[in-house]
Structure 1
């Protein structure tokens, strides 16, 4: 109870100047990392990338072996990685990103600069921010909406740009100002960042799984699975369950065909 009161007290200051205060996922409402660790291991696998969700490979997918060199250009690997999170931009978007409008998006990626923690960005973040401008340009591509646009940017700058997902924004209460609310919460709440870091360490995840990604996964698992964020059994057990929306969300992000 004291843990929740301390974090709530810190967060109470994050909604100033009209900003929308972010709600903390249940798994991060205690200094005890056990709950967050269990949720993260259910998603990413234990050990990492073993018997987890297909989306667990989003962060590390690099079949071409050129991800670091391609920081300022969208690649086929980025489009594949997005499909691991159960969305598909489609062929026209692929043509635009990889060929027809490639020269338009690469300078915007370069203008963003190297990857860095969103929490360290000075505020406020406005539509003039390069990553926000890139998102707006991506939204002009046929087949790309807010979810896909944010996932593409998160692939290129995972520490800097949060994924927008309907399940996640409902859990975090950030539907109106997702980017600004997360930025403010991380920037002004050291306890939240400490808990995210501790959960990543306890779940034996690599350091390149960003704060934003851990927050995203914990919120998504809570929204898709309910209060605990955990399945009754393993990830593959969930594929045998009911026909509810929850089961659909679960199935689409689980690895299939494992034993």
Structure 2
């Protein structure tokens, strides 16, 4: 597949390059070695992906609410307190998502929209989650449902949102989180479904307990850091 191209939203890269990104990111030994040296820059695997908090699948304890720290997004004190306050709402979202349900299957059945809208509704209520943005919340929630809930940050946005073709989502200042998150889920599922053999190759470059959705995020996170957009 060295000559093939991978598409992530509106951006693209060679499969060969994407394989290298995934292999580097999920190299636990190299990441631990980088952490042990001055000015080392380890990637977040396995610290984030295998973070142990002792909670059940439908629970969110205080450790779970700090999962985003391991992806370089640290909630401030008032943000953490607001996350605690909406914990029952977040647990209700988790309870409605079977742990083995994938985003692709949920989108195919139309079952993705309600959970993603419920998360978006919380983000659209600043009085409830003041100081907590979509990046923080999705990093927390993905850790509990890595097969279903996508990660999100500005780099993912750069891959999926842009003016005109080939970007699947048009930028809009009026769009709410409750509207945006289902669109993002649909676009990601489409990428995975349209390029199954390519994503299988990339998934095989990561440990078995890492979801393909997490692999997609690593590629998008790297690809979205580039200033120049694909034509």
TM-score in terms of structure 2 length? 0.70
Match of 1:83 among 65, 69, 73: 69
Structure 2 partner of 1:42: 24
Change (3 A) 1:162 1:88: same
Shift of 1:194: 2.0
Partner of 1:60: 50
Deviation at 1:211, TM superposition (A): 0.7
Q: Aligned to 2:203, which of 197, 200, 207?
A: 197
CA distance in 1, matches of 2:77, 2:110: 32
Deviation at 1:190, TM superposition (A): 2.0
Equivalent residue number for residue 163 of structure 1: 151
Q: Is the 8 A contact 1:164 1:178 kept in 2?
A: no
Q: 1:106 to 1:206 in 2, by over 3 A?
A: same
**1:40-97 residue CA offsets vs partner (Å, 9 max, x unmatched):** 23323353643363422221111x3x14x2x222222223320121212322232233
Structure 2 regions of 5+ residues with no counterpart? 35-40, 161-166, 171-182
Is the 8 Å Cα contact of residues 22 and 219 (structure 2) preserved in structure 1? yes
2:170 is aligned with 1:180: no
* Alpha-carbon contact 2:9-2:191 (below 8 Å) kept: yes
Structure 1 regions of 5+ residues with no counterpart?
A: 9-20, 228-259
Q: Distance in 2 between matches of 1:44 and 1:134?
A: 28
Paired residue total: 199
SS in 1 for 2:192: helix
Q: CA deviation at 1:110?
A: 0.4
Sort the Cα spacing of 1:197 and 1:115 in 2 relative to 1 into closer, same or farther, 3 A. same
